[in-house]
């Protein structure tokens, strides 16, 4: 029984989306995520440039690369470098973009 | 209403002058209209540009507002009356559009596609990701109005030109036309006046008892007969030429063998006078549908030409027969005269064209022949060589 449960747990972990398993643990507020996406879109415009900027920031976050305000950083602290490999990081960014890109809200 | 003169030559001149005048002026008018329209198009576009600038700024302001409130679930894209708009990201991918037309490129600030003008504006910051705003505006009815206005003016000018050109040509050609009409009238009157005296002379000679006339006077009477026959022939040719257009052909199934025999007999006196001999081979009873007057003119002109161009003491060969299957009739006349050059053969059917000034005549014989063979769809073949003779063959 324990064996079966362990296999199930490992499989869930293996096939889980890196966005859900890694990002959503801290970023639970949907509106906050939507706001970040709006900030990225306002600054970088296209999907390609937004994803590129996100990847660059997540791999090595600095205040220069951040799109949040100084007050937000003071309040929530600065994000650590992501420990995910490039592929997982890209998959996580793709999922985040699919879910919150501005284009889908325009009617 | 303007009526074209009946004279073919004047009519042709009028039509040539008018067509050259109209073509050049119409081309000029069209070129000027095109230049004016291009200019107006630029003017209308610049006027529209001012309006579109304001409308684009309005949309950008609305986009800014939407971007500020993006946390809402739905962002309603701003829509303005009379124009369509679309936003593109920095990589020129479409974000949202209110029009259906797909644009392959938005590289120019302003461009035309189908019935629309497109204006491209840069947006910064990128509200909702928009780096470019494209405004679509119909080519407007101002431009169509301008087009209609110009088309109306151009058509009016062309109609006016057609009218004035005909009047101008009529005024210019009037003196020439009057002179030609006068000449025509003169020939008609002269021709008419010739009928009675010529007929009187010929009829009286016919009824003369030549047995009672001595040989000296017989020669004189013969000369009078030759002269009168020549005048009668000229009279018939001129009458045919002048009245041909007005007289309808009275076609009947006629024995053209008899007609040809009569005409050969009629011209014998002229031929004998020049010691020209006729060698005749005419098949009996060949019938065809033709107007008797026209058949007579056709044979008379061919025979009299052969006599005129023959050398003295020459022979004229006349041949008439049907083909072996009786489908075609073949007529030929061959003289042993002065003949013609190949270059002269090309001009033979031109009216008043005399190929040899030393030979009497008006140069109307082949013109008459041509009009008759055209009317009855008769094929003609003329072979000639200088100082050997001419052979004319008709097949119908």
DSSP letter for each residue of A31-95:
HHHHHHHHHHHHHH-SHHHHHHHHHHHHHS--TTT--S-HHHHHHH-PPPPP-S-HHHHHHHHHH
pLDDT of residue A15: 52
Domain membership flag for residue B205: no
Selected residues 3-32 of chain A with any CB under 8 Å from a CB in chain B? 31
Domain encompassing residue B363: 210-395
Determine, yes or no, domain membership for B4: yes
Cβ distance B88 to B94 under 8 Å?
yes
Give me chain B's average pLDDT, please. Answer: 85
- Please state the domain count of chain B: 2
Where does a domain end: B166, B200, B234? B200
Cross-chain residue pair B77–A107, CB shorter than 8 Å: yes
Tell whether B282 is covered by a domain.
yes
* B161 & B217 share domain: no
Q: Are residues B174 and B242 in the same domain?
A: no
- What is the DSSP code (8-state) at residue A20? I
Residue that is written with structure tokens 């301008």 in the block: B146
Q: Which residues of chain B does A53 touch, with a Cβ-Cβ cutoff of 8 Å?
A: none
Q: Which two tokens stand for residue B189?
A: 């009157």
Q: Exposed, middle or buried, B300 (CB in 10 Å: 0-12/13-18/19+)?
A: buried
Of B132, B167, B200, the residue that ends a domain is B200
Assess whether B241 and B375 both reside in one domain.
yes
Candidates B285, B280, B333; CA nearest to B309 is B333
pLDDT digits (tens, 9 = 90+) for B260-319: 998 898 888 888 888 899 999 999 999 999 988 889 889 999 998 898 888 888 899 999
Summarised one tens digit per residue, pLDDT across range B213-239 is 888 888 888 888 888 887 888 888 877
Q: What are B370-394's pLDDT values in tens digits?
A: 888 988 899 999 888 888 889 999 9
Q: Do B244 and B374 fall into the same domain? A: yes
A67: chain B residues, CB-CB within 8 Å: none
pLDDT above 60: residue B57: yes
| ipTM here | 0.82
Burial status of residue B141 (CB atoms within 10 A of its CB: 0-12, 13-18, 19 or more) = exposed
Contact of A20 with A92, CB cutoff 8 Å: no
Which residues lie below 8 Å from residue B120, measured CB to CB, with a gap of 6+? B106, B108, B109, B110, B111, B132, B133, B134
The predicted structure's pLDDT at residue B258: 92
Task: Please indicate if any CB of chain A lies within 8 Å of the CB of B131.
Answer: yes
- The reported pLDDT for the residue numbered B239 is 79
In a domain, B301, yes or no: yes
Domain stops at, among B178, B200, B222: B200
Chain segment B178-215, per-residue pLDDT in tens: 887 888 788 778 877 888 888 888 888 888 877 878 88
In a domain, B240, yes or no: yes
Query: What are B321's two structure tokens?
Result: 């027969």
pLDDT at A12: 45
B357 and B240, same domain (yes or no): yes
B10 belongs to a structural domain: yes
Q: Is A36 on the interface with B (CB under 8 A)?
A: no
Span B348-368, average pLDDT:
68
B138 and B239 belong to one structural domain:
no
Asked whether the predicted pLDDT for residue A2 surpasses 60, the reply is no
| Same domain? B252 vs B364 | yes
For residues B47 and B102, state if they share a domain: yes
B2 with B62, same domain: the answer is yes
Pair B184, B221 in one domain:
no
CB contact under 8 A, B126 and A106: no
pLDDT of residue A76: 76
Query: Read out DSSP for B108-167?
Result: SSEEEETTEEEEEEE-SS-GGG-SEEEEEEE--HHHHHHHHHHHHHHHHHHHHHHHHHHH
- Tell me phi and psi for residue B254, to 5 degrees: -115, 155
Kindly report the CATH number assigned to the domain that includes residue B280. 3.30.565.10
A104 touches chain B (CB under 8 A): no
Distance from CA of A4 to the nearest CA of B (A): 42
Q: Which residue has the higher pLDDT, B109 or A16?
A: B109
**Structure token pair of residue B12:** 């042709």
Tokens of B304: 């009299």
User: How confident is the model at residue A8, as a pLDDT?
Assistant: 44
pLDDT per residue as tens digits for the range B128-152? 999 999 999 887 666 777 788 888 9
pLDDT at A71: 79
Strand-pairing partners, residue B279, are: B317
Shared domain for B170 and B271, answered yes or no, is no
Residues B58 and B170 in one domain: yes
Which residue has tokens 């040989």? Answer: B215
Tell me what the mean pLDDT of segment A98-103 comes to. 90
| Domain assignment present for B35 | yes
């Amino acid at each position: 029984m324990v064996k079966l449960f362990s296999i199930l747990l490992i499989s869930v972990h293996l096939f889980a989306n890196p966005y859900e398993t890694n990002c959503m643990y801290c970023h639970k507020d949907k509106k906050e995520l939507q706001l970040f996406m709006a900030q990225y879109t306002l600054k970088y415009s296209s999907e390609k440039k937004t994803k590129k900027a996100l990847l660059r920031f997540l791999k090595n976050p600095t205040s220069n690369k951040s799109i949040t305000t100084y007050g937000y950083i003071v309040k929530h602290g600065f994000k650590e470098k992501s420990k995910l490999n490039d592929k997982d990081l890209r998959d996580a960014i793709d999922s985040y973009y699919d879910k919150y890109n501005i284009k889908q809200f325009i009617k | 209403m303007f009526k074209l003169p009946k004279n073919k030559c004047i009519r042709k001149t009028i039509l040539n002058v008018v067509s050259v005048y109209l073509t050049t002026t119409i081309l000029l008018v069209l070129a000027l209209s095109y230049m004016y329209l291009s200019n107006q198009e630029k003017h209308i576009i610049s006027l529209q540009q001012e309006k579109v600038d304001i409308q684009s700024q309005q949309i950008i302001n609305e986009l800014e507002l939407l971007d500020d409130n993006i946390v809402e679930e739905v962002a309603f894209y701003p829509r303005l009356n009379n124009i369509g708009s679309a936003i593109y990201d920095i990589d020129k991918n479409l974000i949202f559009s209110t029009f259906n037309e797909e644009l392959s490129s938005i590289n120019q600030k302003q461009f035309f596609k189908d019935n629309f003008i497109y204006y491209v504006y840069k947006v910064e910051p990128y509200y909702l990701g928009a780096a470019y705003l494209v405004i679509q505006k119909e080519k407007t009815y101002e431009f169509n109005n301008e087009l209609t206005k110009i088309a109306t003016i151009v058509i009016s000018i062309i109609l006016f030109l057609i009218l004035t050109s005909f009047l101008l040509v009529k005024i210019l050609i009037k003196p020439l036309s009057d002179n030609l009409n006068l000449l025509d009238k003169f020939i008609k009157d002269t021709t008419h006046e010739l009928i009675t005296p010529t007929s009187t002379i010929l009829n009286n000679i016919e009824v003369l008892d030549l047995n009672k006339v001595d040989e000296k006077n017989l020669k004189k009477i013969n000369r009078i007969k030759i002269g009168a026959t020549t005048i009668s022939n000229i009279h018939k040719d001129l009458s045919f030429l002048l009245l041909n257009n007005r007289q309808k052909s009275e076609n009947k199934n006629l024995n053209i063998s008899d007609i040809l025999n009569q005409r050969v007999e009629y011209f014998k006196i002229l031929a004998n006078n020049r010691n020209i001999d006729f060698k005749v081979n005419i098949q009996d009873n060949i019938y065809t549908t033709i107007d008797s007057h026209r058949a007579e003119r056709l044979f008379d002109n061919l025979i009299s030409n052969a006599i005129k161009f023959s050398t003295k003491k020459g022979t004229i060969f006349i041949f008439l027969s049907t083909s072996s299957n009786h489908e075609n009739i073949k007529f030929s006349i061959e003289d042993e005269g002065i003949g013609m050059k190949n270059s002269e053969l090309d001009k033979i059917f031109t009216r008043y064209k005399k190929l040899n000034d030393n030979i009497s005549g008006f140069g109307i014989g082949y013109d008459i022949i041509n009009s008759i063979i055209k009317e009855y769809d008769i094929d003609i073949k003329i072979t000639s060589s200088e100082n050997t003779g001419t052979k004319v063959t008709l097949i119908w």
